[in-house]
Structure 1
């Protein structure tokens, strides 16, 4: 990623003393003059407008020290021209080249307080920000930033909630209810569109929203009553994108105003299609067998990712990751943001996921535009980037240029997507002109599982092109896609990264037809919320020569595919069903009957390690041999086989079907580990332009000292643990996501100092080494659960059931559980959700103790 910045600086006349008069007005014109911003100072008050579109409206900022919205005196103006060239990893256009005219207006207020107003204008719109240039801490108590919209202007507005998931509505600027509205907001003023947005919001400040008090007046209100920061302070940009609907839809101004990328090497950032099972079958993320089936489907169709949503378990994810990577599929994992809200959690959880081979994370439920939450974004973004973990923010704020600054952010939700289980064509046709303008949108499209929808099959498929998202999470069951072979065939060909985007036609709430280019191919796609009819596509965007146009659309009995030869300037007419859609692939015509490119799954390979498992002491060495085989097919190239921990690799320039590569190493077990440690052996190779990772591990068990005398289970090291929510707690009840945040273990009013707090389903395994004879505990649902919870409890010795309970519910008496553990090496304590779901299943093993030799 590179940035080219050129600047020509012009300083306006600066008088010997500050100018102090009324009625001052300045203009800042875009290079080429398409857009002109106007700044006014009258009676000490500032105003900002966009020529012929938005009349001047009051602006300013108030701090605890000074009111910089009134009593201002002009000091100076300086101007320069900026040209920036940069490359994105996602978005409507990868290569960006923008030229902006910038003017900085300096003012003083009461007591000599200083304010700079920085204005930037491009061919796509205008923006301003406040700069408080003094050093030292500053407390902002509000802005007077506002907009005056003609009351009769059409308006497409999003009622504000901090997750931006309310339905959009069409109204007028004056008729909109008195309420708060989220960014971006779209207005049609005469024949010109104006979009209001923000850019460059981070932990220095808070997110804003629009407050409508009536008429055509809209004001910016911050999420926090006060914002504190170190000076000098630059606030976010207040952005107005203006022009025809194509200018607004294709605009990159929000990204252009954002800080440059903080990541130099983005080669590891890889957009792509994602198979995601949660929407179509909510329980599937907890089922490793089902997730393996999704991996197999993704591998067959060369989808690069599978997202495992809420419900995954650390006991099986690492092995599933290995299974997937050997087939050319990477795993993404869902996390609640509170699992990463402390430095200790980030330093523990993220490296663990990386060590498993996870490629990225979906982080959910931030649900706030506060300064504190933006400071959390400031912390999680470099932490994930350092580990080369890609990110999808769900339950998140709306994009404000984040994907330019942190290009490993592949997408954000901030939309009422298909997971709401209600799809309307009229709403779908608003998103391309509003929410998706400012950044990648994780709508989770192409869902037949949503039964409450008025869209056609072709409409659903077209969403994969009409909506831009670096990770396109396709949200139905894989069997559903396989039962729609024409849809799957098209989905397998659609890219998610675009070199160019053009709006061909449309109007918010009625229709949207876009053309996007990837390499030498174009994709034209449209969605409609109108009655059946034909749509005409002007192919003037094509280069010269003959092109094959291959269209998928709704037919009388399902999806149909049609082909024709076209040239630049032709009109392609596509029949649309009511609320329908279409996807047209356009490729240079070479005589082929299709634009499809071959779908070639990664070759099946076999990696064996010997021994597969062993037992030894800390610091000991283990002799390991590995053989990597390509049974058939190929060839594969740049083959490398080596221990993950280091060691001399064995290599081969290529392997053909039936050939193998072998190596032997002596590996040392860490001297500070107990329990099971894995010593992975990794084979990598190149296939069709990408590196495939195949991994197997020798599982080495390092037993801890066996307990002696009377021992509390909560004092012993855990060989393994899993928990339905957060960690298993020692001597506390189950809390939230952090260790130690539970309450005292309490059963029917009795507080127990020792024991384990779990959340079903969960289990803990400890080492007895055959040294103990008996186990005893009191079990039940902790008193902290006021809504009925339920669980069953089971004691296992070396995998064999020794004792257990029936279903215990909230308020039931504590039940004693005892077991003879003579000769048992591994003791496992397990709780289940009793078959009715895991909500409120806070299960206590109170006073859990052992009698040992």
Structure 2
């Protein structure tokens, strides 16, 4: 009887407790928190008078014990303000303001356990971040999360820019539908992705971009993903609701934690226009500051590479046709070469020479190391050792040759999903790199993960990616990860973690159905919200038929001018000039923009942006009064008038405009371009003409 009375009293207290209200610094956003009659934590979010998230429940379910989802009373409420400015090691802007108001609600469950949970909310003028915190306490030490029940209940059936939710890939095409229309039938088919683990027919990946009919732009993602699985979202289309879905491990559990512990931040970025979404630094601000004291060795850079020729079937990663190799007992010097191996000494020297002539500091070489003959699809444990080159790749000779040209070779570590093998060999692999003057590595995680039963997005792999960032930092190595979990702003904490792939990159244009022209206008609103992408732009030979018979009908789904504009609209401190050297040598005038465009910036202005339609971005070079502009469109031709009021007042600039040529279009005449120059000032208006699937790139340099 006494227990029933206490429960009734707790329910009454929850029902009558006033909502806790928090306003963002400039009162643009309002957060309301309260407990339901059942003691369930709920929150709401408003943008002015408009509802962003309606009453939504929060909770975490545990294995073998009651969940953290109901039966709570409020034990304590703390609020605070924060306002400072920090300087990123590299980035889109010189400095970032971190300005928010915080509400920390300590919740208590009744005896006999008396467990506590802290819900921490940070409200910025451009959005909300919140997370679950599990304090150290007698009744909670080790625990297993079986589900997270975080809801985002929306006020209407918004337009959504989404891809299928999957535990192992982020390389699906995007669909644009109403939330209520999310289904396998409206997801774009992508059969070319070899490793797929779809979650459910109503599951979508984060970051999820939404646009309301009344003019709100809403982006849902997460920040600081550490020691926890990635979050996808389950859509309840009829109710316009979203619920978190975590990636399970090999046992079916979601996360194994020890107090004190915390989840990643759940993020809701909100604005009344597209450019403001792309300008948000909320996700970065929710990550911890850099753990590295000395960052002077970290260098954003452009690079070329022995890579595209394999994508277009002109060369091969493998050295021979043998397909049953065992690392432990094979004499690779006796393998019979098939003659198509691209990572040979002479070919790599050709790339080094090209890089040196054009001021590009890096050359990536893929396929240099033994194991590529049967690397894919066999779920094989020991594929690569990351230190043994093929017979035609002279490591020491190339080290000397590159150093003499003031060029650095970039290492490639494809582990084919055999992550246990990579973890065993990381120390020797990084030692090999340092001995041969490599200070950057591109990692790859193609295929099903080993340990078997784990996924790319699970807790075990999330911790692995962080370990790689930490260990490469200890060795003063920069890292670019391909096929990892989607990024969540951890490059603030580990600035040597320059870039990720984690999306459908430019390579898909070489050997699949390709990327539709709208693809690059969606990526900044989705995948790039969490961090830079190594998209590998800069393809000049758009039609690919000439390289191999199997390329018939294949092409890049942009114009040449749009490939230039991508260097500005798709941000990365690591940008590849992805095409073959000979194709750049055919168009030295257009290649000049790639030579000129920086990869590190003092300022960024998103001038025009609508997801799925167009983006126009201007950026100021680090330490210089030079600006670069990129403008891209979807399958529709567009005209734009761009005010140049971002330029320094009173200064005249020479604008070099790289535009689509007469009659250009992505499908019928993609390589037509024109270059013109004109004098401009901050009072000028630039008229841009974008072809279907096209773009414009502009450099602004001070006149004499």
TM-score by length of 1: 0.65
**Deviation string, structure 1 residues 390-413 (Cα, Å, up to 9, x no partner):** 000001111111110100011100
* 8 A Cα contact 1:340 1:349, kept in partner: no
Counterpart position of 1:583:
697
| Match in the other structure for 2:286 | 257
Partners in 1 of 2:145 and 2:157 — Cα distance? 34
**Post-superposition CA distance 1:764-801 (Å, at most 9, x none):** xxxxxxxxxxxxxxxxxxxxxxxxxxxxxxxxxxxxxx
Do the aligned partners of 1:501 and 1:514 also contact (CA within 8 Å) in 2? Answer: yes
Q: Measure the CA separation in 1 of the matches of 2:581 and 2:504.
A: 23
Note the 1:143-292 alignment, pairs <5 A: 143-161=148-166, 162-177=168-183, 178-189=201-212, 190-203=214-227, 205-215=228-238, 216-224=240-248, 225-243=253-271, 244-281=273-310, 282-283=315-316, 285-292=342-349
Q: Which residue of 2 aligns with 1:72?
A: 72
Tell whether 2:542 aligns with 1:542: no
Q: Does 1:434 align with 2:539?
A: no
Please give the root-mean-square deviation of Cα atoms over the aligned residues, in Å: 2.0
Q: Residue 629 of structure 2: which of 509, 516, 524 is its match?
A: 524
Deviations 1:222-280 (A, max 9, x none): 11233111101111100000012111101111111011111111111101111023123
1:362 counterpart residue number = 442
Q: Give the aligned partner of residue 117 of structure 1.
A: 119
Please state whether the residue corresponding to 1:131 is helix, strand or coil.
Answer: strand
> Partners of 1:330 and 1:18 in 2: how far apart?
65
Tell me the CA shift for residue 18 of structure 1: 12
How far, CA to CA, are the matches of 1:238 and 1:587 in structure 2? Answer: 41
Structure 2 equivalent of residue 45 of structure 1? 40
Deviation at 1:469, TM superposition (A): 1.0
Q: CA shift at 1:37, angstroms?
A: 1.9
CA deviation profile, 1:575-599 (whole Å, cap 9, x unmatched): 2222211111112222xxxxxxxxx
Tell whether the 8 Å contact from 2:78 to 2:104 is kept in structure 1 after alignment.
yes
1:732-747 matches, within 5 Å, as none
Asked whether 1:507 is paired with 2:614, we answer no
Q: Using a 3 Å threshold, how does the CA distance of structure 1 residues 272 and 19 change in structure 2: closer, same or farther?
A: farther
Structure 2 CA distance for partners of 1:19 and 1:562, relative to 1, 3 Å: farther
> Following the alignment from structure 1 to structure 2, what is the Cα–Cα distance between the partners of residues 567 and 493?
20
* Cα 1:533–1:227 shift into 2, 3 Å: closer
Query: Which protein, 1 or 2, shows the higher relative CO under an 8 Å CA cutoff with sep ≥ 6?
Result: 2
**Other-structure match for 2:321:** none
How many residues were matched structurally?
573
Q: State the distance in 2 between where 1:532 and 1:510 align.
A: 10
Q: State how far apart, in whole Å, the 1-side matches of 2:403 and 2:532 are.
A: 26
In the alignment, the residues of structure 1 paired with residue 589 and residue 439 of structure 2 have an alpha-carbon distance, to the nearest angstrom, of 30
Aligned 1:627-706 pairs, distance under 5 A = none
Aligned to 1:641: none
Q: 1:568/1:139 Cα in 2 relative to 1: closer, same or farther (>3 Å)?
A: same
Q: Which moved more, 1:388-397 or 1:242-251?
A: 242-251
8 Å Cα contact 1:150-1:174 kept in structure 2: no
1:141 and 2:143 equivalent? Answer: no
Larger radius of gyration: 1
Per the TM alignment, residue 151 of structure 1 is displaced from its structure 2 partner at its CA by: 4.3
Secondary structure at 2:589's aligned position in 1? Answer: helix
Q: 1:151 to 1:21 in 2, by over 3 A?
A: closer
In the aligned structure 2, how far is the partner of 1:48 from the partner of 1:279?
49
Cα deviation code 1:693-714 (max 9, x no counterpart): xxxxxxxxxxxxxxxxxxxxxx
Give the Cα–Cα distance (whole angstroms) in 1 for the partners of residues 345 and 420 of structure 2: 24
* 1:444 counterpart (530, 533, 536): 536
Task: Using the TM superposition, give the Cα deviation of residue 572 of structure 1 relative to its aligned residue in structure 2, in angstroms.
Answer: 0.6
Which runs of structure 2 are paired with 1:438-477 in the superposition (5 Å)? 438-449=530-541, 451=543, 452-477=555-580
Match of 1:394 in 2: 482
How far, CA to CA, are the matches of 1:182 and 1:234 in structure 2? 22
For structure 1, the residue ranges without an aligned partner over 5 or more in a row are: 1-16, 591-853
Higher share in strand = 1
In structure 1, C-alpha distance between the alignment counterparts of 2:656 and 2:687, rounded to whole Å: 12
Report the 3-state secondary structure (helix = DSSP H, G, I; strand = E; otherwise coil) of the residue aligned with 1:22: helix
Q: Tell me, yes or no, if structure 1 residue 25 matches structure 2 residue 31.
A: no
Tell me how far apart the structure 1 counterparts of residues 254 and 600 of structure 2 sit (CA, whole Å). Answer: 40
Among 374, 378, 400, the alignment partner of 1:322 is 400
Q: How far, CA to CA, are the matches of 2:128 and 2:680 in structure 1?
A: 39
Q: Is contact 1:28–1:119 with CA below 8 Å preserved after alignment?
A: no
Q: Does the 8 Å contact 2:577/2:594 carry over to 1?
A: no
Label 1:18 to 1:542 Cα distance change in 2 as closer, same or farther (>3 A). farther
| Contact 1:20/1:74 (8 A) holds in 2 | no
Counterpart of 2:194 in structure 1 is none
Structure 2, unaligned runs of 5 or more: 1-9, 184-200, 317-340, 370-387, 447-454, 544-554, 663-670
Bigger proportion of residues as helix: 2
Within a 5 Å distance, the mapping from 1:538-617 to structure 2 comes to: 538-545=643-650, 546-556=652-662, 558-590=672-704
Contact 2:173 2:515 in 1 (8 A): no
Scaled by the length of structure 2, the TM-score of the pair is: 0.78
Q: Secondary structure at the match of 1:383?
A: helix
Asked if 2 retains the 8 angstrom alpha-carbon contact of 1:35 and 1:50, the reply is yes
Q: Which of residues 14, 27, 30 in structure 2 aligns to 1:36?
A: 30
Residue in 1 aligned with 2:594? 491
Task: For residue 499 of structure 1, give the secondary structure of its aligned residue in structure 2.
Answer: strand
Contact 1:340 1:346 (8 Å CA) reproduced: no
Q: Is the 8 A contact 1:511 1:527 kept in 2?
A: yes
Shift of 1:343: 5.1
- SS, match of residue 562 in structure 1: strand
User: CA 1:310–1:87 in 2, change beyond 3 Å: closer, same or farther?
Assistant: farther
Aligned to 2:497: 409
